[in-house]
Amino acid sequence: MAESSPRFADLTIAEFVDRLASAEPVPGGGSASAIAASLGAALLTMVARLSTARSKYEAFAETHARAEAAGLAAADRFLELADEDAAAYAAFAAALKLPRETPAQQETRSDAIRLAARGAALVPLDVIRGCHRLALEIEAMAGRSNLNAASDIGVAALLADAAAHGAAANVLINLPAAADDAFAATTTDALVGHLEAIEDLARRAREIVGTGRLRDPESP
């Protein structure tokens, strides 16, 4: 993404969708995944605000306050990660275009590709980590927030899960070009662990929402 381009956060939804639909390689699936996670975080914040200062949900006030703050921070961070993902892939694409006519050029190009591929894998891994933190907050809010907005918690859980899996696809596709077996193994292990936890948290959140009932407050 060129330096003169506005942040994705500064675009309208229609403008971002138009960019995503263009023939340009960025933004792509990684940025779209981060945006999806940002929407999930925004929904968490919305539900927290719809639950605050209501006597029926007073016992969950601490959960609401934490979720609101966490959702706001996460929404902003995911928007930043959408930009970072686009920049990381742009750097990888630029490395692929480096000259390779001489042995020296070939070596320089190979080194640049490996470095850029590593960066293009690490940014979506940050998205996955953020989705794990978001899923923890979403699961904690399920059954502890305004029941009229319970479906929104369910949607937030789905978005966090989908965003994590989308980001994972972008991690995995860049690992071979990084040409570092140890890095690939460590990164893959971390990715799998986060995905399993996110899937479990999202499933539990949806199940709790499905009961239509409140549950006990969080333990101190």
Domains of the chain, by residue range, sit at 26-211
Q: Distance between CA 160 and CA 71 in Å, rounded?
A: 12
- Distance, CA of 33 to CA of 85 (rounded, Å): 10
Is the peptide bond between 27 and the residue preceding it cis, with omega within 30 degrees of 0? yes
Question: Which tens digit of pLDDT belongs to each residue from 156-184?
Answer: 999 999 999 999 999 999 999 999 999 99
Per the listing, tokens 């927290």 go with: 48
Confidence of residue 90 (pLDDT cuts 50, 70, 90): very high
CATH 3.40.50.1100 fits 26-211, yes or no: no
* pLDDT-derived band at 6, boundaries 50, 70, 90: confident
pTM of the full structure = 0.94
Instruction: Report the alpha-carbon distance of residue 123 to residue 202 in Å, rounded.
Output: 22
Q: Quick one: tokens of 103?
A: 């042995």
pLDDT tens, residue by residue, 108-159: 999 999 999 999 999 999 999 999 999 999 999 999 999 999 999 999 999 9
pLDDT over 70 at 193, yes or no: yes
Mean confidence (pLDDT) of the chain: 96
